[in-house]
Every structure is written in C-alpha cells, then in structure tokens.
Amino acid sequence: MDSLSLESGEIHTIVGPNGSGKTTLMRVLSFLEKPAGGTVTFKGNRISTGRGVPQELRRSVTLVMQDHYLFEGSVFSNIAYGLRIRGVKDPGLRRSIDTALEITALQGFGPRRAGTLSGGESKRVAIARALVLKPEVLLLDEPTANIDRRNTELIEDTVQQLKSEGLTVVMTTHDFSQAYKLGDSMVSLVSGKVVDVSPENIFPCMISGNEATIAPGVALAVQCERSGPAHVAIDPRGVILSLSELNSSARNCLAGKVVRISVEDSLVKVYVDVGTEIVSIITEDSLESLKLRPGTSVYAVFKTVSVRVL
C-alpha cells in the first residue's frame, strides 16, 4: 500500500476478502511483524527500522488475534497476565479485572477454566484481557468470526462502548454491515493494497479476453488488457435494477433474485443473487416504485465502465 493513516480516538474498520492481507496488516500494526517494505510511524516514532520496538510503545498497542490463544489456567489468571508482567498487584489488580469482566459481560467467569469456555466466551475473555491493559490502540482481528449471534452482539456493544472512552480501535471484518455500523472510517484492502472503492462488490475473478468470471456461470464484460486471476470492483451505485431485461448500452445484464434489503441513512442496499451476491444502492422511492421484496426476480444492469479491475 502507498500509505495508510489511522487517526486516534476513532474506530477504524478494515474490510477485504480472504487473503487480502488484513491479518498481516494487524500483525504489522502490533509490531509482531516487520512490513515487507516501507515504515510504520506510531506517535511520531518510526518503528520498522529493524531495531527492537521500545517496550513503552509496544505496550501501547494490543492485538486480539482472530485465532486467539488463552493460557492454561483460569479466566482470572488470563486477564491478569498483562497486569502482572507490568507489576500490578492487588487490590488494583482485582479491581481492574472485575471492571474488564463487567465490560465484556463476563461477570462471575473469573474462576472458570479457560478450556471450558465456548468460542464466544473465549473471544470475550481475550478482549477483556486486552482491555484491562488500557492500551492506547486496540487491534481486533475479525473479533466476531465464527461466533454466535448473541456473543457477536455483546462484542459489538463492547466495541461501541470503547469509542466513548476515547480508545482507538482498528478492527478487521468480513461483515460490511458491521463495518458500517461500528466504524468511523473504513479501509478496503485487496491483495495487500488499500483500494478506494466501496468494499461491497469486490470479487476475485479470472480474466480472459474482455470477460471476468466472478462465479461459475457469471461472467462480466470488462475493459482490461491483462488476463489471469485478479479482483474486480463493481460500484454499487452504478448497478441499476430492472424488473425486465433491458435492451441498452450496458453490456452487463445479470438475472437474479433479491435476497435481502437493508436501509441505512435513507440509502437502500439491495442484495441480489445472480450466482453470487451483488449489491445495488438505490433510493427509497425506487424501492417502492419497483415494489422490490426478497424473492423478487430482477435484472442487475451495469456498464462496463462500472467494473473496475484492481
């Protein structure tokens, strides 16, 4: 990426398909890995110079990994780990841990063995373990991946609570709705690059001639000189929905069915299954006039220039 700047005190969401580099980016931001090139600057300090990161800076940033690990022992001892290595003792230790358990809705979980927790409970303990350290920056790598609905809501509530405390949160997610709901800013990542396109409608594809195949039987007309594997982005605002097949200058006309509809800030997102899910952003008036509902058969129509090869 050319550059990526994250302001303090905000919740930043990073979205992108699998393999886009989200986890690698989080590891770089948490100083676990050096970037392949370029530098990381944190609070005015250039970090990626090959020298050891000063402990004070390292302790300002905490990462909760997607595939997190809880140490052997109890929930209490897990959450206490970071405090103990910082020399925090009772009664301050216990008070901090109780607060962290409360924030993550884990009251009473202290004595439970880490190995007896469900996936969602375990993730909340990992978040509590990070929060108790009061980092300046909290990095969350897919915090709600493979978590049930109830635990997802609890984690989302926790993240929203953190914003009011002035914490800087950087969070990766696959879920665009979650990214829009929680984030003050959103960054789209594709193949390790920041892209300035809407994160919906980014598809891996195979380009051959002037066609990009994004799913079995779903090929888009594109303007592109190269061939082989790539990613394409379709501007959701450029996708027109029609109840009948249009005879127009638009080269892409895909038949499908409306899967779901969401309304956010008077913008309507219509998710259409054309063999893969494509998002179209329309107005509420258009929604009403077309009488679109889940199950309605529609055509998703867009011009070649609405398809950008990344």
Partner 1 sequence: MDYILRGLAQAFLMIFTGDGEVYRIAAVSMKISAISTSLASLAGVPVGFYLAFHRFRGRRGVVTILRTLLAMPTVVVGLVLYSLLSRSGPFGALRLMYTQTAMVIGQFVLASPIVTMLTLSALAGVDKRVRPTALTLGASPFQSDFAVLREGSFALAAAIAAGFGRVFGEVGVSMMLGGNIRHYTRNLTTGIAFQTSRGEFSLGLALGVILLTVALTANLLVRFLEMKSSKSTD
Q: Which is nearer to partner 1, 59 or 181 (CB)?
A: 59
The SS3 of residue 85 is helix
Cα 238 from Cα 302, distance rounded (Å): 6
Cα 186 from Cα 170, distance rounded (Å): 10
Which among 169, 91, 161 is positioned nearest to 135, based on CA atoms? 169
* Minimum separation from the CB atom of position 133 to partner 1 (A): 6
* Rounded (5°) CA angle 61-62-63: 125
What single DSSP character describes residue 90? T
Q: Which is nearer to partner 1, 32 or 145 (CB)?
A: 32
Residue with tokens 């915090």: 143
Which among 242, 267, 269 is positioned nearest to 256, based on CA atoms? 242
β pairing state of 11-15 and 185-190: parallel
Q: Which is nearer to partner 1, 21 or 236 (CB)?
A: 21
Q: Which is nearer to partner 1, 58 or 251 (CB)?
A: 58
* Minimum separation from the CB atom of position 72 to partner 1 (A): 5
* Minimum separation from the CB atom of position 98 to partner 1 (A): 19
Q: Which is nearer to partner 1, 53 or 300 (CB)?
A: 53
* Minimum separation from the CB atom of position 163 to partner 1 (A): 21
Instruction: Give the containing element (helix H, strand E) for 200.
Output: none
Sequence letter at residue 31: F
Q: Which is nearer to partner 1, 67 or 196 (CB)?
A: 67
Cα 87 from Cα 117, distance rounded (Å): 28
* Minimum separation from the CB atom of position 277 to partner 1 (A): 33
Question: Residues 307, 232: contact at Cβ < 8 Å?
Answer: yes
Which parts of this chain interact with partner 1 (CB under 8 A)?
27, 30, 32, 55, 58-59, 61-63, 65, 67-69, 71-72, 81-82, 85-86, 115, 129-130, 133
* Minimum separation from the CB atom of position 234 to partner 1 (A): 37
